[in-house]
Amino acid sequence: MFQAFYQAFLAPGDNGLPRILMMPSFWIGFGIFCFIIVSGFRIAQQYERALVFRFGAYKRTSGPGLFWIIPFGIEYARKVDIRVLTDGVEKQEAMTRDSVPIQVNAVIWYRIVKPNLAVIEVQDVRDAVIQVALTTLRNVIGAHPLDDVLREREKMAELIKTRVDQVTEAWGVEVQNVEMKNIEIPQSMQRAMAQEAEAQREKRARIIKASAEFEAAKLLQEAGHEIMRTPASLELRRMQMLTEIGAEQNTMTVVMMPSEFVEAAKAIGTMAAPKPLPPKTEGN
């Protein structure tokens, strides 16, 4: 049998080549075989992964680079982008815990880390992520008062990121970051907040002014006690005051009197004051 096969196909012909190479059917079959092999090659970019399905069943994940699948519909590849995706959460009207209506939008960054789950477990992974982020944004705002929404935006964004990531983990999606882009509050609330901020600034200004006056009063009290202990310092202060007044261009006239005159006038006034009458007794 082998001898017959050898004589029919492998034995040298008239030109010295095997007879099979001189058969047209061989070259036709060889061309079909090469076409089948070449048509099965596929290329996935560095940022892509290819999911290979055979008769509709998931078999493997290929890429990046060159890979091969069985052609003619037996196997087909679906490419998935694994780069970081950026999507905006459209402006939503939500109610805070203290019943203040606000409008807020956000931006979410995420990437697909398990392409097979992103294709098999959810129909449209991008739309699903946006919808989860939208509902989570509303729930988080509804659980916090307006002051926390305005002052702790980073903390709330981190909370939204954590909750969205918990839901999308089953879809092979990893949330990178969430940022609250813009927060709009009613005009009446803006005026009320402006008045509150102005009142707070006025309060701080008055407290600072009162503290300064209190400290100045304490320093003046200490200076008075120091001057009372050393009368000569009072005379020096008076001379300094005259120097300060003379340095200015004015027509003020200052009459200086020794402190002894002041003390003598005070003593005379005390002596000239009427003495109080003694209290009357019951016998008189």
Q: What is the dihedral of CA 217, 218, 221, 225, to 10 degrees?
A: -160
CATH 3.30.479.30 maps onto the chain at 85-189
Tell which wins on pLDDT, 177 or 240.
Answer: 177
The dotted CATH code for 85-189 is 3.30.479.30
Instruction: Give me the pLDDT at residue 59, please.
Output: 93
- Taking the C-alpha atoms of residue 11 and residue 55, their distance in angstroms, rounded to an integer, is 43
- How confident is the model over 130-153, as pLDDT tens digits? 999 999 999 999 898 888 888 888
Task: Output the six-digit token pair for 73.
Answer: 């519909």
Angle between helix 187-229 and helix 231-247 axes, rounded to 10 deg: 120
For residue 284, is pLDDT > 50?
Answer: no
pLDDT band at 250 (very low <50, low <70, confident <90, very high): low
Number of residues that this document lists for the chain = 284
For residue 170, is pLDDT > 70?
Answer: yes
Average pLDDT, the chain: 81
pLDDT band at 210 (very low <50, low <70, confident <90, very high): confident
Angle between helix 153-168 and helix 125-142 axes, rounded to 10 deg: 140
For residue 272, is pLDDT > 50?
Answer: yes
- Taking the C-alpha atoms of residue 238 and residue 259, their distance in angstroms, rounded to an integer, is 11
- How confident is the model over 212-235, as pLDDT tens digits? 888 888 887 877 777 677 766 666
Q: CA gyration radius for the chain?
A: 48
Tell me which residue of 138, 174, 128, 180 sits closest to 158, measured CA to CA.
180
CA dist list (Å): 62 to 119, 169, 202, 231? 14, 22, 67, 99
Q: Beta strand 85-95 with 65-68: parallel, antiparallel or unpaired? A: unpaired
DSSP state of 280: P
Please measure the distance between the N-terminal and C-terminal CA atoms of the chain and give it in whole angstroms. 170
Instruction: Give me the pLDDT at residue 36, please.
Output: 86
Tell which wins on pLDDT, 194 or 207.
Answer: 207
For residue 20, is pLDDT > 80?
Answer: no
Tell which wins on pLDDT, 257 or 34.
Answer: 34
For residue 21, is pLDDT > 70?
Answer: no
